[in-house]
Every structure is written in C-alpha cells, then in structure tokens.
Structure 1
Amino acid sequence: MKTERKIVQMVFCTADSVTGANIPEAPDEGPAKLRQAAKLVESTAYASAGEHPTSVVSQLIMAAANLERLAQFLERKGEHP
C-alpha cells in the first residue's frame, strides 16, 4: 500500500532528523515497518516529556497508537501474512 509506505518513510525521515540517530530500516513491508515506526514515535514522546508541553507528548503517543492500529488492521485484512 503506497499510502502506508509514504507515512512510514515520513516518520523515519523525521525521526532521523529530529533525533540525529541513524535508524535502521525495518523489514520491507507493512505491519512490521509500521510497528517499528510506532515504537520510535512512542519512545520519542516519552523521551521528550520534560522538554515539550504535555499536549505535544499526548499527540505523539496517539500517533504511535494509530500506527499500531493500522498495522493490526493490515494483518487482519491479510495484506501481509
């Protein structure tokens, strides 16, 4: 799915530039990559909790949860066994 791939690429590029980390690529497709992105966003949220307003941290946590839900949805639909 092109849309999900673009979302994940954006998350990884942003995380690379924000954290300065060289984030390794996840497996090529779908749910695994979305889950890795979700973990990265969640980790970033908790790491920045003292530096940013709680509303920003909350939005990051919600974004991570949405990425995880999307991965679950794709698995249920059988897109990526």
Structure 2
Amino acid sequence: MTPVTDLLVSAVAEGKLLESARTNIENLLNGSTGEVAQQSVEELVHSGSWDELNDRFFKTLAFGTGGLRGRTIGRK
C-alpha cells in the first residue's frame, strides 16, 4: 500500500471518510495518467480534508440522457 492508501484506509476506519469515497479515490489514482489529479487528491488527504473528499468522491457521476430521447435536429 502507498502512504495515501494507508491514510484513506485509516480515515474510513475512524469514520471520517466514506467507504464509497475511498473506493472512488483509489480508482481515480489507479487509472489516472495525469499528475494534477493525483497531486490534488494527495494534498487533500495529507491536510485531512475528509469532508471535501467525501463531497467530491462519494459517488460516480452518471452522464447521459437518463433514458429520455428527443429531437436531435431543431425544427425549422
């Protein structure tokens, strides 16, 4: 485990971080190719900004139309 992962696990055990947030953060860190995302998360973790991390990562966003369909071309 990395130091950030250790801190995430500890925060979940202490009730400071949601398990879903931890999972989503780890997915981001494992799949991210950019350093900006990693540095941003590490900064929040090291500063103990658990509320902010929960707000940002408690769930994944679903994009799309939600099953709704309509015209894709405007009327004349």
TM-score by length of 2: 0.35
Q: Which has the higher Rg, Structure 1 or Structure 2?
A: 2
TM-score by length of 1: 0.33
